[in-house]
Amino acid sequence: MAKITPAHGKAPQTFAAIDIGSNSCRLKIARVVQYRLRVVHEDREVTRLGASVFETGLVSPDSMAATLAALKRFYKAVQLHSADQVRAVATAAMRDARNGRAFLAWVKDETGWDVEIISGLEEGRLIHRGVMSHEQGVSGRCLLLDLGGGSCEISHSNHKKIVETISLPIGAVRLTEEFLKNDPPQKEEVARMKQFIARELRKASKRVAAAGIPLVIATSGTAAALSEASRVMSKGTAGKDYVAPVKDVRRLAEKLTRLRNEARSAVPGIGPRRSEIVVAGAHVYAQILEHFGLAGFRYSAMGLRDGILAQMLAEQDSRTLAHQQYERDRWEAVLETCRRYGIDPRHAEPVRLHAAQLFRDMAPVHELPAEYETWLESAAMLRDIGKFLNYQGHHRHAQYIIANSEIYGFTPGQRVLISAIARYIGKSRPQPEGRTMRQVPVQEHEHVKRGVVLLRLAVALNQDRASDVLRVRTRVYPKKVILEISPGRTGAELELWSLRKEADYFREIFRRELLVTLA
């Protein structure tokens, strides 16, 4: 995969990560110091954005106003700290809200931020990245639990690599709004909620092999509250390595269920901001631990914002360990997607290598942003996955699969760009009014077209060659580009013919002649 070239001679960069959750909004600002992140500011506001969504399917005006007020405060902090880059994401509430897009358009008008609605699996991946980037002494198998307002992400990790992630609709706000109508909750309400949680956990069992995992790390405010309440109840020693035993979590769940909200808020560790939704959260944690036969959980203050910051650092500076891990995770996700749709990565690899070489050799010609090398390589690997559905029209199928699949490490917008490059390697050409290009931001249209040309050349250089890969030398002149092909054992006639067919389109896009010769 392409490597990001760091910028030298610049002042330390400052990143801001914003998590618009179903229960609260969070901000974390960090500055890069010696290739690492140093937190300079944090803020949090409980806005209950998902409360009305999970009941009516719509964000209420009050929740919108409260969330926007918090975001405006965050905006001032971002400006004060001169953040170079801001990434704002929204989770379960915005995934479900029918008026979510309208609300985020309002946010953009007030702050200028393009808020990204991320999937539950992407949320789980980023949380995993945030935890693993900071937690020390984590090795071997580990289970990560993040219980938010709208969903719960369960990730099985092995040696700091995700094995499987699942997102379940058992967030604390969602369950409270759906099942717990009284204070304290009635027995029938709690019973129905527990049945629902159990049903969702049975789904998780089919995906996540959690039995026997020795370490469980839980994030989020509910985990923090339960961990502290458990420590006080058992007179445990404070510290980051404290493990809340499953029996304590179950006892807390039963105790909190019997109390009214005012009494719950007085329980050490709970507090008034957590008391309204802690009953549902406590039952979720208790049932997860019991369902998988786990001994307890250790709380981590890391989470989604830390994962966003780690990824922002990884994308900006190739010298960081975070970047190296990010590249490995992203490349493995591409390979896994190939395998899932019946593509042998070894067969696609020569096209990727040629695409990367052409990208570098023709840099003065295409003038594409550096990140397009990654989009081009990914498109080269994934271009044939549409054959899984049907050989007829497989380029269209590939575009749909890439744009709509979960591929770890790639945002929805990035997948759209990759899918568009992979789409146009047959007879069709990118057209602004076409269905695919309508999904691509207008400012990226020209970039995509240039990426398409490079991929078409890479494909032309690999006409069903099993192992006899051609070598190519590129010479760039002001009015022409010469590709000099070294024939393999079986010659290069078919490749010459295929490359010369691309000359007209090459001239149309780059305003230069394409000449192909034999070495």
Residues paired with 298 in a beta bridge: 217, 243
pLDDT for 193? 97
The 10s digit of each residue's pLDDT in 384-422 is 999 998 888 899 999 999 999 888 878 888 999 999 999
Give the 3-state DSSP-derived string for 260-294, with helices as H, strands as E and coil as C: CHHHHHCCCCCCCCCCCCHHHHHHHHHHHHHHCCC
pLDDT for 459? 94
Backbone angles phi, psi at 261, to 5 degrees: -55, -45
Task: Tell me which of 10-14, 274-278, 358-362 is least confident.
Answer: 10-14
pLDDT for 11? 58
pLDDT for 321? 66
- With residues binned 3-state (H G I as helix, E B as strand, rest as coil), the percentages for the chain, rounded to 5, are 50, 20, 30
The 10s digit of each residue's pLDDT in 140-151 is 899 999 999 999
How far, in Å, CA of 216 to CA of 297, rounded?
5
* Within this chain, domains 14-118 and 320-518 share the same CATH topology: no
pTM for the predicted model, two decimal places: 0.77
How far, in Å, CA of 386 to CA of 517, rounded?
33
Percent of the chain with pLDDT over 90: 69
pLDDT for 4? 36
**CATH class in words for 135-301:** alpha beta
Order of all β-strands in the sheet with 480-486: 471-476, 480-486, 513-518
User: Which of these, 216, 249, 214, lies nearest to 230 by C-alpha position?
Assistant: 249
Percent of the chain with pLDDT over 70: 94
**The pair of three-digit structure tokens given for residue 51, joined into one six-digit string:** 């409360």
The 10s digit of each residue's pLDDT in 432-466 is 888 999 999 999 999 999 999 999 999 999 886 55
- Are the CB atoms for 26 and 148 separated by under 8 Å? no
Q: Does domain 320-518 have CATH number 3.40.630.30?
A: no
Pairing of strands 85-90, 116-117: parallel
Amino acid letter at 286? A
The 10s digit of each residue's pLDDT in 320-341 is 666 777 778 889 889 999 999 9
pLDDT for 463? 81
Fold of 14-118: Nucleotidyltransferase; domain 5 (3.30.420)
- Parse the chain into domains and list their residue ranges: 14-118, 135-301, 320-518
How far, in Å, CA of 479 to CA of 502, rounded?
16
